[in-house]
Structure 1
């Protein structure tokens, strides 16, 4: 039997492909588990949504009892029957007393502030989620669309390491590293003990009306925090590496879910609009511009509505942007051009239609797709703004001063 030597010497095009694929898979797994991906995007989402909810609660503070409290038309009994049917979570239905409501409402404001500043973000993110769900599920008749997004993002933030940058936690870690000492903070332990005791007391006394799922989740989060404390105290490097591995994996998965949620939101909104006759004929914008509820600046709304060509262009443009947005993520340049347009659209909705908190939620949800380089530049400029302001004031007071 003879062998064609020329054919035998030709290298296979698949030679080494397995090794290359293995190397790429290993590299991808290392990136997913070995690093906290998109820390700046997680930070801007954390800051944005906590700021949005805090400002909303502060604005509605004079009307809090009518909206979510003891004098709400959506009474305590009606809310109880609804929660019993849909299984939603809210601690406001544990008691109908005024004192309990005030504790929850003002506690939600404090949790939003703590998450905004990045102060013990693991604990604050959980309390922020509890505050958001408790208040928004208490009265389902309120909301402008942004409340649904707030529900979702508040739940996802619990699983992210959103305090890696732009937080008091990160500053504390940097100072501890600069001083070559362990990042030990007794406040973390005090918070853990306080909320563990509170959860145990409310559960054993029957005050906390928790389903088994929510009880397992809250106790599970408490136990995970206890595990972190134990590993840091005992100084097991292998276990610490394993916990970091798991935390990075959960964080990266949560960030992917947030990004997917925003894409689904735009795609669903765009395709539903296509099915509406008012969006098909280009007149959809005309109707909210003539509703008193969406006309905080009546002359501005009237001037916009008088331009039929502009109304039609905005109507069709909105549908095109929303349908196309998920596909633009495949091209970075197109995405970076379209993203500011979407943010500008939401900013205009805040002004023209009087929906500031809906627009804020959408803008900060869009921010997850901002480039890391831009966010780092923006963060450095923002951090340097106070020193620049002080320098300008000093120069005005002393024009002959020389900058050091």
Structure 2
């Protein structure tokens, strides 16, 4: 029989432990993660649709980088792509179409745990088939689709969140989710027969974790085991969001400090030469107008370097960070228009969104919701107007 004095420390620890773990077991930045999910999947979807007419030449069986040469490049870079399994046109078209469907599903937030993994596999497969035609935007997207898998990015603004609200308190299990999980397992079986440099283990691990989650929902819906899984997922989400923020800071810091070492950036003329490159001049008249102003070129060149170098250091001050964040987003949008590299710029704007204030995102979501309601009610209003005038 235990004494009261012996049980008090244990009781105090039991009460104190949830408070100590609450900061790391609570989902942080759910709106930022949702915006990141929507933005990244939109960039991928727009990229795939834009390259649809040229898809076979860039990444398919009509590419100048033949299938045999691509195999050599994949082995040297030790990258993952399912397009290395065959050179058939039907196989490539299937992978390309499935990736588009996965991007649309992630955009809508439908079965995000599974479709985000599918999106990661599809994006890596397409881009890694021919890395010689990529740019910095492809590298950013390849990194971020991996981070996206480990976030709980469908807590808000998603079909998953709406389904969770409707199923709250209702008994039973997710039969559609179990069916999709079983299909995913059947698809993963051929993956194990191909050399994937460890990626097969990654996909099987994610599949097993999802199965464990379904088992906990089915057998222990209100048990401590379900709470432990939920807390672990939240901690993984928080780590992934922190990794995304650190990656963005690393990108800006590396770009800024490398620019400082260049003589053209030191003298303030780097932008002038960039504006005279035909490859980066979709609007020649606009490029010529900007290049014609020495003061403007000097100011934009130095502003670019200072903003990139200073960005990681401004995170300690919320107001300064918000101002510089607006400057960085405006800079990327300007690069997208003036230099004609929209997907790199849009990918970086999406990454910058993880630093946006929560209040701003909530207000933005509310405004988009009101706009959607107006659009849905527009046909009914039009019909009533026509009926009244007729």
- TM-score normalised according to structure 1 size: 0.88
Q: What's the offset of the Cα at 1:187?
A: 2.0
Deviation at 1:176, TM superposition (A): 1.7
- Match of 1:151? 142
The answer for unaligned runs of 5 or more in structure 2 is 1-14
The 5-angstrom pairing of residues 2-401 of structure 1 reads: 27=19, 29-33=21-25, 35-177=26-168, 180-182=169-171, 184-203=173-192, 206=193, 208-211=194-197, 213-236=198-221, 237-389=223-375, 394=381
Moved over 4 A (4+): 23-28, 389-393, 395-399
Q: Structure 1, residues 97-156: CA drift from partner, whole Å, max 9, x if none?
A: 111111111111111111111000000110111011111111111223111111111011
* Structure 1 match to 2:12: none
Q: What's the offset of the Cα at 1:75?
A: 1.4
The 2-side partners of 1:276 and 1:47 are apart by 36
- Contact kept in structure 2, 1:192 and 1:222, CA below 8 Å: yes
SS of equivalent to 1:316? helix
Partner of 1:20: none
Q: Distance in 2 between matches of 1:27 and 1:374?
A: 28
Do the aligned residues in 2 keep the contact of 1:149 with 1:361 (CA within 8 Å)?
A: yes
RMSD over equivalenced CA pairs, Å: 2.1
CA shift, 1:200, in A, is 1.5
Structure 2: distance between partners of 1:48 and 1:386:
18
In 2, distance between residues paired with 1:221 and 1:379?
A: 31
- Matches of 1:263 and 1:29, distance apart in 2: 27
Q: Counterpart of 2:8?
A: none
1:342–1:233 distance in 2 versus 1, CA, 3 Å: same
**Distance of 2:33 and 2:146 partners within structure 1:** 13
Is the 1:176–1:183 contact (alpha carbons within 8 Å) kept by the matching residues of 2?
A: no
- Give the alignment's TM-score, normalised by structure 2: 0.91
Higher Cα Rg, which structure: 1
Q: d(CA) in 2 for partners of 1:389 and 1:245?
A: 39
Structure 1 residue ranges without an equivalent (≥5): 1-22
In structure 1, C-alpha distance between the alignment counterparts of 2:376 and 2:328, rounded to whole Å: 35
Structure 1 residue 70, shift from structure 2 partner: 0.3
Q: CA deviation at 1:59?
A: 0.5
Q: How much has 1:26 moved relative to structure 2?
A: 7.2
State the Cα distance separating 1:86 from its structure 2 match: 2.2
Determine which structure has the larger helix proportion and give its number: 2
Preserved CA contact (<8 Å) 2:191 2:200: no
The 2-side partners of 1:90 and 1:395 are apart by 50
Q: In the aligned structure 2, how far is the partner of 1:245 from the partner of 1:110?
A: 30
Aligned-partner SS, 2:134: coil
Structure 1 residue 188: Cα displacement: 1.2
SS at match of 1:141: helix
CA contact (8 A) 1:288 1:294 kept: yes
